A and B are shown apart, each in its own frame.
Chain A
């Protein structure tokens, strides 16, 4: 067990280093940070002085090593754009992203499960056909279009929800939350729905497929033969057995919800790490971009690690294989 975890950890570190390296190579091609920092009217010699001060004239490999060295100590430098420590910036933006991600994951789970079970149990119902058709739209429409559409209907036309921002927030220790104020909760509704739609339809279709599969199995027929109530069969036996793959997928999807909240955050001016990243890309704020990419890599690596360990715990077959290096 311990050897397995250590090996996984070592692999994770390698992945992180690789992400850092790729990020650094890419940064060479995103443009000149000075050009977006100073505006076109700044004299060239002043730009040269600035470039020098930022260490941009050093060889790439030296910049990379310096970055890795600092990153090990949790130090990601100062944002070119905002002149604040990057670690601090990302940590201050993280609560907004996490709250949005968990809110949308909850919506996706609750509605995805309910609708999935419903459409599996009543495959011939008119409502099922309707839900399935609408879910296709949910999967195929791009997020920004859904976001803009929701803003237009619910903020501009109806005026029910705010069109942007996070509303009033409350600072609890290091965590700035929007969940405790009315305007904060109202602000959460539209972005959370926008971000959840894709996962919702994914979970719904997954649950429905698994459920239909399970309902055809022998043990469900036996349960029916034994005269168990529909309720006990559907929810006690069928649903429970569909949940294993669903939980796996949902867990892995949580990572991508955090990572791909970028579009939703931009559309709704949600002050999370995703919108911070987009603005940073536009102005070539390399320290923030680097730190963000490392952070997202860390999220994925951690979630995968946890899933791997869970598998190991749940599935006895893996334990046998562990010795052979898999």
Chain B
């Protein structure tokens, strides 16, 4: 009541946009959507993980540069005489929120739960054969074969308490089909820096500092009020009126205005996500084209002409208002295998592009349909619109088909598109993740998002070797070779890497996290 009155008074008296602030340690944190569930193994989804990271903890974690950091595990290495076994040494003296001690059996239990049938985290643990506790603070993970990069898959696999899970009957991950309500969906018991106090789904969640947390530095933020606000304009209005302190999902068109607003500041940084176009390969004519006797995209000259006609800088400046990093490779800069040379992209050259089109026999151009999502990536539809215009300059007459991601995604996975926009994040921070799904021939578990059906047996063999190669130098060389071929053959048409922007009141600072999963423990207050 008193706070409300003070705020009201301040708002009436002052002419600034920011009306009053909560106590120094409380942060009101607004996002576009709420965490889907509190069950840490039920959903593999960014917003849900981001929230869970405050309550639960993982064995290893990523910092703002994207490098692996110890969290509940202090050291990890391949077993000396056996490259198929990972050994994790656990942090001692860690307790769960209910006071129970954290030991190896909790890790064994949690990893087994995460790779169980009903878990959506299981894809990250398919190569695990067995998890066993060696002693109270050592865990061995037996892989089915050499898996040199397995720790990369652990950054979102949270550790639960075995006894708590058994006591509350949540040993199994919630099964939708069974139609039952799982205790872990709404209750938590983690080891993390914050404890859940209350939660109203889609309305507000309150977290308070865990006084017994193992970390030496106490976070500056002692209370987090998490507020999902779906509407873009309302979310920004709430920041401007001082009702929230931090907005994580800032619409691109508002960034400039917010930067000019007193009392508010913007932090930006690259996201681990590349936006690219894919096209259909193979001899078969395109379903949506007026060229009925050949597939124009299959001609390397056409692909080169398209690359020369697409003005990435213009897209970054005009469509993205400067909030994008144009790129010549479908690989975000955080990912191992990225280099400056790969990232370079050719300058726009319409004359040369037209020459190439003429050489390929398409003096009069051709028609094709471009499928684009309209609610998945930043300005996804607008990017596609811009590209339609750019390709029109060399006679490629593109029809735009725009759909919500729920309808767009099946087109790509079912190969029902000739030309499409997609974004790709790389949670493992390793190039193999890109190759497996986008470059490898579509067969078995490979090439799931290779909607253009590109196929190169030579590359396939190299890609498969990455999964088991334990000599890092050899592996890096292979990665470089594959990227070289992918770039030369123009398997994909990369446009840019997305940039993330957080808006906050100007006396706090929260650095941008490349996976858009900032921990509020890293938030600092200005003195």
Of A46, A84, A159, A266, the contact of B242 (CB 8 Å cutoff): A159
* Nearest-Cβ distance from residue A192 to partner chain B, whole angstroms: 16
Of B10, B37, B39, B230, the contact of A279 (CB 8 Å cutoff): B230
**Contact (Cβ within 8 A) B202 A35:** no
Of B8, B123, B185, B423, the contact of A83 (CB 8 Å cutoff): B185
User: Does A282 belong to the interface (CB within 8 Å)?
Assistant: yes
Of A53, A267, A276, the contact of B202 (CB 8 Å cutoff): A276
**Contact (Cβ within 8 A) B176 A78:** yes
* Nearest-Cβ distance from residue B196 to partner chain A, whole angstroms: 16
Query: Which partner residue on chain A sits nearest B234 by CB separation?
Result: A164
Given contacts A43-B445, A282-B375, contact A269 B406 (CB under 8 A): no
Query: Which partner residue on chain A sits nearest B409 by CB separation?
Result: A35
Considering the complex, which residues of chain A in the window 243-298 have a beta carbon less than 8 Å from any beta carbon of chain B? 266-269, 271, 275-276, 278-279, 282-284
User: Does A135 belong to the interface (CB within 8 Å)?
Assistant: no
- Residues in B with CB closer than 8 Å to A284 are 406
Expressed in whole angstroms, the Cα–Cα distance for A52 and B155 within the complex equals 28
**Contact (Cβ within 8 A) A80 B176:** yes
**Contact (Cβ within 8 A) A77 B179:** yes
User: Does A54 belong to the interface (CB within 8 Å)?
Assistant: yes
- Residues in B with CB closer than 8 Å to A85 are 179, 181
**Contact (Cβ within 8 A) B406 A30:** yes
Considering the complex, which residues of chain B in the window 160-185 have a beta carbon less than 8 Å from any beta carbon of chain A? 174-177, 179-182, 185
**Contact (Cβ within 8 A) A83 B445:** no
**Contact (Cβ within 8 A) B45 A83:** no
**Contact (Cβ within 8 A) B237 A163:** yes
Considering the complex, which residues of chain B in the window 1-51 have a beta carbon less than 8 Å from any beta carbon of chain A? 1, 4, 7-8, 10-12, 17, 19, 33, 36-37, 39, 42-46
- Residues in A with CB closer than 8 Å to B235 are 164
User: Does B475 belong to the interface (CB within 8 Å)?
Assistant: no
Q: Please tell me the size bucket of the interface on B.
A: 35 or more
Expressed in whole angstroms, the Cα–Cα distance for A78 and B230 within the complex equals 22
- Residues in B with CB closer than 8 Å to A40 are 376, 405, 409, 422-424, 449
Among A107-115, A150-158, A314-322, which stretch is in contact with chain B? A150-158
Total residue contacts A-B, CB cutoff 8 A: 169
- Residues in A with CB closer than 8 Å to B403 are 31
Expressed in whole angstroms, the Cα–Cα distance for A266 and B233 within the complex equals 11
Given contacts A46-B120, A55-B177, A276-B202, contact A159 B11 (CB under 8 A): yes
- Residues in A with CB closer than 8 Å to B437 are 41
User: Does A166 belong to the interface (CB within 8 Å)?
Assistant: yes
**Contact (Cβ within 8 A) A269 B230:** yes
Give 15 A-B pairs besides A42-B123, A78-B180, A164-B243 with Cβ atoms closer than 8 angstroms: A30-B406, A35-B407, A36-B405, A36-B406, A40-B405, A40-B449, A44-B445, A53-B176, A53-B177, A78-B181, A83-B37, A155-B243, A160-B8, A163-B238, A165-B227
* Nearest-Cβ distance from residue B142 to partner chain A, whole angstroms: 22
Considering the complex, which residues of chain A in the window 158-180 have a beta carbon less than 8 Å from any beta carbon of chain B? 158-160, 162-166
User: Does B200 belong to the interface (CB within 8 Å)?
Assistant: yes
User: Does A136 belong to the interface (CB within 8 Å)?
Assistant: no
The 4 closest A-B pairs by CB, nearest first: A31-B406, A159-B11, A35-B409, A159-B19
**Contact (Cβ within 8 A) B201 A82:** yes
Expressed in whole angstroms, the Cα–Cα distance for A151 and B239 within the complex equals 12
Of A42, A45, A55, A282, the contact of B404 (CB 8 Å cutoff): A282
* Nearest-Cβ distance from residue A47 to partner chain B, whole angstroms: 8
User: Does B154 belong to the interface (CB within 8 Å)?
Assistant: no
Given contacts A83-B176, A282-B404, contact A38 B44 (CB under 8 A): yes
* Nearest-Cβ distance from residue A323 to partner chain B, whole angstroms: 47
Expressed in whole angstroms, the Cα–Cα distance for A84 and B186 within the complex equals 9
Residue of B186, B231, B409, B424 with highest tally of chain A CB at under 10 A = B231
User: Does B518 belong to the interface (CB within 8 Å)?
Assistant: no
Of A39, A43, A55, A89, the contact of B46 (CB 8 Å cutoff): A39
**Contact (Cβ within 8 A) B122 A46:** yes
User: Does A237 belong to the interface (CB within 8 Å)?
Assistant: no
**Contact (Cβ within 8 A) A163 B243:** yes
- Residues in B with CB closer than 8 Å to A45 are 445
User: Does A182 belong to the interface (CB within 8 Å)?
Assistant: yes
- Residues in A with CB closer than 8 Å to B175 are 53
**Contact (Cβ within 8 A) A271 B176:** no
User: Does B448 belong to the interface (CB within 8 Å)?
Assistant: yes
Of A41, A156, A267, the contact of B231 (CB 8 Å cutoff): A267
Expressed in whole angstroms, the Cα–Cα distance for A159 and B46 within the complex equals 33
User: Does A128 belong to the interface (CB within 8 Å)?
Assistant: no
